[in-house]
Structure 1
Amino acid sequence: MSSPQDPYQQGPAGYTPQQVRQPPQQPSPFGLPGEPPRQRSRRKLWIILGSIGGVLLLVILGVVILVNVVGSATNQARGLADDFTRKVIAGDSSRAYDEYLDPALQKQLSKEAFISGVKSLEMDSSCQPAYNDLKVATENGVKSAEVVGQISCTGKNVDLAYRFEGTDQLRMTNIKLRPAA
């Protein structure tokens, strides 16, 4: 008994369906059916993230250096003003004149005039300096600092304004010490 053969059961020229060749499949981004998906390359992502991280690191480093340089100059100016003012208050005006005043200022203001001017302010151990404004700058390698404030004493106040300039060592180029109005 022969059964009618189904034309779809048998391939061309006597091949069975298992032997029929399938057309080649194009690879898809997810791989062939039954294969695990391919790993995507993240090289570009790491290059971009590394570049952004490098730029961010340089910016942070620049800010830290800038803050340290400006902070250091500000602290130096405050220290000079403190030392000078404490010497003047303690009555050591001669030493303050010699150590802090620039030679150009010493030519304009004699040591005797400086000492007598400080004595006329009648400052004593109750006097304490307070700085209201402190500006620091550097131009063409020359550092400058302007210090403005007040010396508060029992019963009176003395206005102060100092200007320091120099390349390596800051020296006082301008001074104002007078009773507050």
Structure 2
Amino acid sequence: MSSPQDPYQPGQPGQAPPQPPLPPQQLPGNSGRAFPAPAGTYPEAGPFGLPGQHPPAKNRRKLWIILAGIGGVLLLVVLGIVILINVAGSATNQARGLADGFTKMVIGGQSSQAYDEYLDPALKEQLSKEAFIAGVDTLEMDESCKPTYNDLQVSTDNGVKAADVAGVITCGGKEVDLAYRFEGTEDLKMTNIKLRPKA
């Protein structure tokens, strides 16, 4: 038999091997209740410093708020660009449509109707219908003539829209320079016109 001071020697009769200590959660007879670790032992430090410490939630919330704000600003910028393109595109299309409608009427021999429908009252005061029709007739245009619009600019100033259209009407071997200006708030009317043989 060994003395109390002697260390345990395996294989000695009458001596039971020592039991390893159980973790605090598995102590016998505690019916599933956890007990704190015995004094002098500490759980391992977590990844953020103190034992069991979780990452601060405020930093993530701030990050999401910043990202949402940036996303909102980008969305507004994209929407603004799309709206601007659509507005500019529709004004350009409107001006091109007016110029094309007027030119086709003049080429087709409907100068009187073009004068009535497209010219602004202020321009009609400066240019009589008779003078307009006589001027168009001197150009000797016919159905073979085709317009080409080289420059089309639209703008808005204090709610008044303006469109400047410039181009050429090609009639076989001759060309006619054209330049129109349309203005108005809703319906644009021609306020300036130039139709003359190309030099």
1:153 pairs with 154, 171, 188, which one? 171
2:150 pairs with 132, 136, 142, which one? 132
The answer to whether the 8 A contact 1:121-1:179 is kept is: yes
- The count of residues paired between Structure 1 and Structure 2 equals 169
Taking structure 1 as reference, are residues 26 and 176 closer, same or farther at Cα in structure 2, changes over 3 Å only? same
Percent identical residues: 67
The answer to whether the 8 A contact 1:142-1:167 is kept is: yes
In the alignment, which residue of structure 2 is the partner of 1:86?
Answer: 104
1:68 pairs with 86, 100, 103, which one? 86
Structure with more relative contact order (C-alpha pairs < 8 Å, separation 6 or more): 1
Q: Does 1:178 align with 2:196?
A: yes
Output the amino acid matched with 2:77: V
Deviations 1:55-93 (A, max 9, x none): 111111000000011000000000000000000000000
Deviations 1:104-151 (A, max 9, x none): 100100000000000000001110000010010000000000000000
Backbone CA RMSD of aligned residues: 2.7
Matches within 5 A, 1:14-93: 21-22=39-40, 24=42, 28-30=46-48, 38=54, 41=57, 42-93=60-111
Structure number with larger C-alpha Rg:
2
In the alignment, which residue of structure 1 is the partner of 2:180?
Answer: 162
Q: Structure 1: where are the runs of 5+ without partners?
A: 7-17
TM-score, normalization by structure 1:
0.83
SS in 1 for 2:86: helix
